[in-house]
Structure 1
Amino acid sequence: MSVIQTIRDKAAWIIIGAIALALIAFIVQDALQGGSRGLFSGNSTTLGKVNGTSIDVRDFEARYKMAEDNYRAQNYPVNDQMRSQIRESLWNEFVEDALMTDEYSKLGITISDKEVGDILYGANPPQMLKQQFTDSTGMFNAQAAYQAIRSLKKGTPQYNSFWGEFVPSLEKSRQREKFTSLVGKSMYVPKWLLEKSNAENSQRAAISYVNVPYSTIPDSTIKISDDDVRDYVNKHKDTYKQENERSLIYVSFDASPSGTDSAKILEEVAKQKDALAAANTTPEIQTVMANSASETPYFDGYVLSSRMQMGNADTLRKLADGQIIGPYLDGPNYTMAKMVGRRQMPDSVKCRHILIKIGDQQGQARTDSAAKKLIDSIQTAIAGGANFDSMVVKYSDDAGSKDKGGEYEFASLQFSNLSKEFAETIFYGTPGEKKVVKVDNQSYSGYHYIEVLSQKKIETAFKIAYISHAIVPSDETINGASGMASQFAAASRDLKQFDDNAAKGKYNKLQADVKESDFMIMGLGETREIIRWAFNDAKRGSVAEHPYQVGDKFVVPAVTGASEKGTMSVEKARPLVEYKVRNEKKAEDIVKKIGSASTLEAVAQATGQQVFNADSVTFNSTFIPNVGNEMKVLGASFNKEYQTKVSAPIKGEIGVFVIKVNNISAVPNPNFDAKAQQQAIQQQMGAMFGYRVMEIMKKSADIKDNRIKFF
């Protein structure tokens, strides 16, 4: 027994050690093979680098979420295109921050707290604040904006969005303004340069010329080799730079709703007609809407006749109370509408109120009964002649209206944004009416004493209940398209098979060139997953192993070409430069044909062309009459040497030219004002360069973009 026990004791330690080693091996293996997210990869969260400064993906995603939430709060449609724009804008902001933070510090460009106050509450406040806090006279109420901003509670989404996203963006914008202004004011144009430019621009020339067009030599006689293209590209590398790109072809399989799908949805909407007809009260209508899973939520309010912008608005206005129409086609939905009721309602309302909140107020708990008692006392005091403004200042818990006598103006479009009880009192009441209402919501839970001051543009408004279902594909339609796409992908394991199967199935092949930073393929929409596959997992000749769902399509892509960042390859550059190389070779042949001819007549005879005249060549133009945009010829027209002899052959855009200058004259400019031009040009150049300098700095920076690895 003792021997067995000893073996057990030792075996236990051996087993524990083996497990520990296995765990360590697992962790190390995961770290080494985990790609960009491995433990020892060193850049698991590095979205990119700017001159060695890292951009962390966690910071980026936090800012992105904040920005997206902000757009949603402002009722912007956050779709695929919007998301792509937000990400691109944020990336540019992070890059600019990395580039400019040290530059701003070196130049002493800072934003003080006082400046932040001036930005928010000064003469030119942000548009968002200006819209929200402009009073009835059209003046920006800085005090109201200040009070509203001070009332934001730390930790809330509103506080985080305002101070974490909105204000920093304003500060950066002001810093950039200072920087661009500083750079712009450094521009200087010397007076002598303007005088020289004015003298040159006043010149006129009369020339005679012979043009030997390149078209006189057939293209078929000129052979362009790969070496010719390569040599030309190497001489013009800056012109033929390229980004990291992939060339794709793809076939798509339609999964949009079929006729059968559409008919079935139409039938489902029609089935709700009896239930909708029987529902008369708000709870009953809401129950029917919930049971029908309507795409359109029920708005328990009235919409002004003038605000009804739908195509069938005239038909809806003519419905009797309780009458139903539909189902009818309304955009992407089948819709059924019931006229619930109508009433007279203003387009805008001016009111004033006093709010007594329930809950924690100035460190003391205020109960419902205490709040009700206080509001009743206020109502009694005002009815007895107490000054409304004084009562607002003394008692109201609404900081946003305290300094303006509790007054607000609301448009009918804001009805749904207000508390239901408050909105109904001011829009359904009459001018002069005073009323106490209780409101239950997070920000303004409590009792309001409300007075309706005035109402404008009263007209008929309608309350309508809509049941609508989106026309979407059935599972059968989706599975059918998905299955066909999967079969195509499985049978197309290389480009030849892809082409053969596309031809056999008579599928339309489409092409696209994409960069690493792209999120969309034109005509398809949000296709980031396809782009990531093309850059991360595929190589030239690869066909996706499975289809990608893009909207109502299933897409099978293939990579036909890959271009790495740098100078274009011969294959890619050939279509762009071949004609230029051909023209260079033709120019050499034409020059040989001209030979040593020393007069225009001799040149014309040698080349079979004619001598032409151009009598109104101006120095500051960009073309020559009857010749075109030939800048080399234009410059040579003002060379005084060519007044005594013909020019050497000039290799132009459309042919080879030989010119003779007949006369150079000048037309004085009596309106020339060197000082005025100096100021105007400096201002123009300063503004332009001030904003271009940021792009210049980006081009000269070492920017590594790893976004393709993350999203």
Structure 2
Amino acid sequence: MQVIQGIRDRAAWIISILIGVALIAFIVQDASVRGGSIFRNTTDIAVVNDVAISKTDFDNKVETIVQMQGAQAQREQLSASVYNMMVQQTILEQEYAKLGMQVTGKELSDILFGANPPQWLQQAFTDPNTGVFNAEMAKQQFAQMKKNSANPQVAAIVETYIEPTMQQALAMKYQAMIMQAVSVPKWMAEKINADNNSVANMQYVYVPYTTIADSTIKVTDADVDAYVKKHKAEFMREYETRTVSYVSFDANPTAADSAVVYSGLASLKSEFAAATDDKSFVAAKGSETNFLDAFVTSNNLKVPNADSIKNLAVGQVYGPYLDANNYTLAKMVAKRSMPDSVKVRHILVKTGQGGIADSVAKNRIDSIKNAVAAGANFNDLVKKYSDDPGSKDKAGEYEFASVGFANLSKEFAEVAFYGTTGDKKVVKVENSSYSGYHYIEVLSQKNTQAAYKIAYISKPILASTETVNAANDAATKFAGSSKDKKAFDDNAAKLNKFPMPTGDIQQNDFQVPGLGNNRAFVRWIYENKVGTVSEPTQFDGKYVVAIITSVSPAGLATAAAARPQAEMFIRNEKKAQQIIANKLKGSTLEAMAQAAGTSVQRADSVAFEAGFIPGVGAEPRVLGAAFNKTILNKVSTPIAGASGVFVVKPEAVGARAALASNIEDLRKRLADNTRNQVSYRSMEALRLAASIKDLRSDFY
């Protein structure tokens, strides 16, 4: 059918659009397909509010996106994104059902054929000659599709394009409902405006927490537990996490390994200099750097020892020298002058696939050349004869930088960069995109300078088998004698090694903090208990032996898990108690300052909206007291702030001179800010409220 063929014909363009929305386009699926059974299938990777997400569906979507994006290296990240989006889509579908939300046939028709149709549909049904979207033709073809809904190709289009469009429409409806619930009353805007223009003068006594040494304050597990219970929201863990400590054994290349690579390259130097076919020689020697049959201008030669290489005579070889993790030889193949950038114009008469016969094309390009010589308008000739869509609307003109020389066809590039301004030539090009005859004029060349064609042979500096085996043997010996934490720590100390702790590791992670990517190692961590010592595990440039040090279940954090985050705050609370009891004695600021060994300080014109005290920093509790009119000219009770204990005496609270504010504009800004927060927080709130069983670790 025409709609299928139209989409096929523009598949490359559509795929490029879909890359940006792939996580939506391939995740959407009818909830009825996923089913709502409460009985778990052994092939489910998640269950969201009793609705299963199948492993097959998940794998297919990940694989499709990987193929589309060519992103095999990012498969782990894509897998996590696909999982999150599938969970999100399942939750939203359930919300839509609760609210009775749907996209009606009329709404879908308006979306597809209205003033702003989806881009994929515009591309499929836009007249290439007029550039106008043909909505009527699209309607006719979709009406035909409805009659052939059993056709697998039609079903694929529905799943890939129509369903995501409907889901996007539902999501917009849902967000619109939430956004319409956001309102900022006038009184609130007026209050915020008044607060923002408030200023205060105050005197205060400030005793920093740093006046008491941390070493004098003991924080017990009971203290941490009590603090955690008072601040549950801050210490609630959604997922179980685990940590390990590890000792590493270096498997990076040694000096001897480096010397072997250096010597091997050095032995090629004279042979490289004598080679007559540099491209073949470089390939035969297994170089990490391919031969580039192009010149590089002087200011674009960004390699180590560039000046020494530039000074080589043609045929000479420099090196070996160090370039990142490689040793490299550089041979000067040729030198010439070349512009750094050029401007050309051309007309292409295409041959091969999509073009005309070679003899016809040759006659046409000769006629074009003669017409130009006779004074014909070049732009008119471009519009009439050129088969290059990229320059047809630009009078055939292109600008190229020399760094892009290798990306051009050799024949075209040599005319543009090796010729001179004013050159006019016809060349024949054979490649997949622009095969045919090109009439080329060189309009301008800029910044002509020395250019060099250089051949490189690069060899990576890799660890030898002996080096790798030595590291593995040392790690194996360590693991074999470290059967518990005491032995682990003692053996590490004997080797002058300090066990390194990792950050929190979740069950479905691929990355190990501080070490790198190793999914099998993460699985081992979750298959064993605290105190278990691992076998040697290879990471980049090292072998690692690890011991599981902690397990923090989901829910309220344990004292051990919470201590790093909570300890400073608990210590400050204890310091505040000591400061209040021992240093802030008396009924006046002066008496308290004297008792604390400090002085009374002033802060004038402190702005409420600034949120900080000049010279001190952010102290919201202290700032609140400064603007408390009920204690004007009175000494406050001691306030345990963020950086120390304060006693304040507000002297004046007033309003600073300010331009008259437009309350309605302020209301709008406040509402917009709130809507922005609601927009991204609403989904998170739904996710936290949902019952989600993450079963990925059963399979991956």
Q: TM-score, normalised by structure 1?
A: 0.70
CA displacement, residues 191-222 of structure 1 (integer Å, 9 cap, x when unaligned): 32232334445555566778898899999998
Q: How does 1:507-586 map to 2 (within 5 A)?
A: 507-516=497-506, 518-535=509-526, 537-545=527-535, 547-574=536-563, 576-577=565-566, 580=569
Q: Secondary structure at the match of 2:530?
A: coil
Could you tell me which residue of structure 1 aligns to residue 655 of structure 2?
667
Q: Distance in 2 between matches of 1:459 and 1:165?
A: 53
Alignment match of 2:297 (pick from 299, 304, 313): 304
Once structures 1 and 2 are overlaid, which stretch shifts more, 345-354 or 701-710? Answer: 701-710
Residues 628 and 51 from structure 1, CA distance in 2 versus in 1: closer, same or farther, beyond 3 angstroms? farther
Q: Secondary structure at the match of 2:657?
A: coil
Could you tell me which residue of structure 2 aligns to residue 191 of structure 1?
186
Residues 302 and 208 from structure 1, CA distance in 2 versus in 1: closer, same or farther, beyond 3 angstroms? closer
Q: Secondary structure at the match of 1:257?
A: coil
TM superposition shift of 1:167: 13
1:212–1:607 contact (8 Å) kept in structure 2: no
Q: Secondary structure at the match of 2:247?
A: strand
TM superposition shift of 1:697: 4.5
Could you tell me which residue of structure 2 aligns to residue 324 of structure 1?
317
1:64–1:87 contact (8 Å) kept in structure 2: no
Residues 452 and 585 from structure 1, CA distance in 2 versus in 1: closer, same or farther, beyond 3 angstroms? closer
Residues 576 and 426 from structure 1, CA distance in 2 versus in 1: closer, same or farther, beyond 3 angstroms? closer
Q: How does 1:423-572 map to 2 (within 5 A)?
A: 423-430=413-420, 431-441=422-432, 443-444=433-434, 446-457=435-446, 458-516=448-506, 518-535=509-526, 537-545=527-535, 547-572=536-561
Could you tell me which residue of structure 2 aligns to residue 677 of structure 1?
666
Residues 409 and 705 from structure 1, CA distance in 2 versus in 1: closer, same or farther, beyond 3 angstroms? farther
Could you tell me which residue of structure 1 aligns to residue 371 of structure 2?
385
2:62–2:82 contact (8 Å) kept in structure 1: no
- For structure 2, list consecutive stretches of 5 or more residues without a partner in the other structure: 1-38, 124-128, 133-157
1:295–1:467 contact (8 Å) kept in structure 2: yes
Q: Secondary structure at the match of 1:275?
A: helix
2:244–2:502 contact (8 Å) kept in structure 1: yes
Q: Secondary structure at the match of 1:294?
A: coil
TM superposition shift of 1:292: 0.9
1:351–1:408 contact (8 Å) kept in structure 2: yes
Residues 338 and 101 from structure 1, CA distance in 2 versus in 1: closer, same or farther, beyond 3 angstroms? farther
Percent of pairs identical after alignment? 36
Could you tell me which residue of structure 2 aligns to residue 135 of structure 1?
none
Letter in 2 for 1:485: A
CA displacement, residues 61-105 of structure 1 (integer Å, 9 cap, x when unaligned): 314523651x6xxxxxx86xx666555555555555455567799
Q: Secondary structure at the match of 1:508?
A: coil
Could you tell me which residue of structure 2 aligns to residue 128 of structure 1?
none
Q: Distance in 2 between matches of 1:383 and 1:578?
A: 82
TM superposition shift of 1:290: 2.3
Q: Secondary structure at the match of 1:385?
A: helix
1:600–1:611 contact (8 Å) kept in structure 2: no
TM superposition shift of 1:261: 1.4
CA displacement, residues 616-648 of structure 1 (integer Å, 9 cap, x when unaligned): 466545355788755445434555554698766
Letter in 2 for 1:66: Q
Letter in 2 for 1:671: L
2:261–2:461 contact (8 Å) kept in structure 1: yes
TM superposition shift of 1:526: 2.8
Q: Distance in 1 between matches of 2:85 and 2:645?
A: 49
Q: Secondary structure at the match of 2:347?
A: strand
Could you tell me which residue of structure 2 aligns to residue 57 of structure 1?
58
Could you tell me which residue of structure 2 aligns to residue 344 of structure 1?
337
1:598–1:646 contact (8 Å) kept in structure 2: no
CA displacement, residues 350-403 of structure 1 (integer Å, 9 cap, x when unaligned): 2323243324x5xxxx8xxx7221112213332443867677666665554555
Q: Secondary structure at the match of 1:239?
A: helix
Q: Secondary structure at the match of 1:540?
A: coil
Alignment root-mean-square deviation, CA: 4.9
Residues 308 and 198 from structure 1, CA distance in 2 versus in 1: closer, same or farther, beyond 3 angstroms? same
Q: Distance in 1 between matches of 2:361 and 2:693?
A: 63
Q: How does 1:173-188 map to 2 (within 5 A)?
A: 187-188=182-183
Alignment match of 1:251 (pick from 239, 247, 250): 247
Residues 650 and 356 from structure 1, CA distance in 2 versus in 1: closer, same or farther, beyond 3 angstroms? closer
Within the alignment, does 1:240 sit opposite 2:241 as a pair?
A: no
Q: Distance in 2 between matches of 1:654 and 1:570?
A: 24
Letter in 1 for 2:342: S
Could you tell me which residue of structure 2 aligns to residue 335 of structure 1?
328
Could you tell me which residue of structure 1 aligns to residue 6 of structure 2?
none
Letter in 2 for 1:252: S
Could you tell me which residue of structure 1 aligns to residue 280 of structure 2?
287
Q: Distance in 2 between matches of 1:164 and 1:308?
A: 50
Could you tell me which residue of structure 2 aligns to residue 158 of structure 1?
none
TM superposition shift of 1:119: 6.0
CA displacement, residues 169-205 of structure 1 (integer Å, 9 cap, x when unaligned): 9999999899878866764433322323344455555
Once structures 1 and 2 are overlaid, which stretch shifts more, 306-315 or 82-91? Answer: 82-91
TM superposition shift of 1:569: 0.8
Q: Distance in 1 between matches of 2:317 and 2:599?
A: 83
TM superposition shift of 1:57: 3.2
Q: Distance in 2 between matches of 1:651 and 1:267?
A: 68
2:510–2:518 contact (8 Å) kept in structure 1: yes
1:356–1:374 contact (8 Å) kept in structure 2: no
Q: Distance in 1 between matches of 2:161 and 2:322?
A: 41
Alignment match of 1:272 (pick from 231, 252, 268): 268
Greater CA radius of gyration, 1 or 2?
1
Within the alignment, does 1:374 sit opposite 2:360 as a pair?
A: yes
Q: Distance in 2 between matches of 1:251 and 1:117?
A: 59
2:273–2:315 contact (8 Å) kept in structure 1: yes
Residues 188 and 178 from structure 1, CA distance in 2 versus in 1: closer, same or farther, beyond 3 angstroms? same
1:209–1:660 contact (8 Å) kept in structure 2: yes
TM superposition shift of 1:228: 4.7
Q: Distance in 2 between matches of 1:559 and 1:481?
A: 22
Letter in 2 for 1:562: V
Letter in 2 for 1:375: A
CA displacement, residues 271-329 of structure 1 (integer Å, 9 cap, x when unaligned): 2223322222xxx2222112211111111122222211113222222222112212222
Q: Distance in 2 between matches of 1:177 and 1:604?
A: 60
Letter in 2 for 1:246: R
- For structure 1, list consecutive stretches of 5 or more residues without a partner in the other structure: 1-39, 72-77, 126-140, 145-162
